[in-house]
Amino acid sequence: MNSARRPLEHFGILPESADADLLRLVLTTAVETIDADEGSLLLRDDGTGDLRFAMTVGDPDREEKLIGERVPVGRGVVQLAAATQEVQIGAPTFRDIKQTERETGGPEAIIAAPMISGSDVIGVLTAVTFKHGRRFGGAEAKLYGRLATVAAVLIEQHQRISGAEGRIAVQTTAMHPKHNKELNEIDQALSRIASRHPQALSHIAAIVANFEAAIEY
């Protein structure tokens, strides 16, 4: 698949990275918890305002077809969730998108929960059921809204860490060209820790601050 079609990469998240695995875990947990058949994570295209499929769980073959597909502005429940910044429940309108039909028929119902970063919607988390007569309720919508918030925080955290690492790398290389090798090793170690154990970053920051204070004393 053309990497240009992968929306996650526009947020600096590689498909096989730890952050992508965490997002998939959130999506899978959300789908299984409300007993949906499929779920997707769609991200906002800043250029057009469209939402693009970034990840789908429930059917690997369908995910391969969906990645990069767009839900145009104003199209159905998904865009309504993004526009109102509220969880929406309704009937899917994906009949013109490759997701559409199973042997048992089209989707019966959908939950669409906005992923909000600050005051901006960066994407939407969806759940779909194909079971005849199945409908989602308020409790399921509330839960999905919370998990959409978790997904948004993961992406926001990744961007903050990546931005900080980039600024540190540029500044330290410019200031200390004789120590580029050592700085690169430190930078790579921090990148690995940030990817695998982001919760440890605050402790590392404290250790570095204490070390700096000690050698400056």
Same domain, 58 and 99: yes
Cβ 92 vs Cβ 128: under 8 Å: yes
Q: Is residue 143 part of a domain?
A: yes
Separation CA 37–CA 14 (nearest Å)? 26
Same domain, 69 and 124: yes
- Token pair 């929306």: residue: 7
Over residues 47-86, the pLDDT tens digits come to 777 888 988 998 877 777 888 888 876 668 888 999 899 9
Distances (CA, A) of 62 to 7, 94, 97, 110, 156: 16, 13, 11, 17, 27
Domain range enclosing 134: 3-157
Q: Specify the pTM.
A: 0.65
Does 2 score more than 90 pLDDT? no
Q: Is residue 170 part of a domain?
A: no
For position 41, what pLDDT does the model report? 92
- The total domain count for the chain is 2
Over residues 78-106, the pLDDT tens digits come to 889 998 999 999 876 554 454 444 444 56
For position 162, what pLDDT does the model report? 61
Distances (CA, A) of 97 to 69, 94, 114: 7, 5, 20
Q: Is residue 25 part of a domain?
A: yes
CATH (domain of 117)? 3.30.450.40
Separation CA 190–CA 165 (nearest Å)? 8
Q: Is residue 209 part of a domain?
A: yes
Same domain, 141 and 183: no
Q: Is residue 165 part of a domain?
A: no
Same domain, 14 and 60: yes
Over residues 142-175, the pLDDT tens digits come to 999 999 998 888 888 877 766 544 444 444 445 4
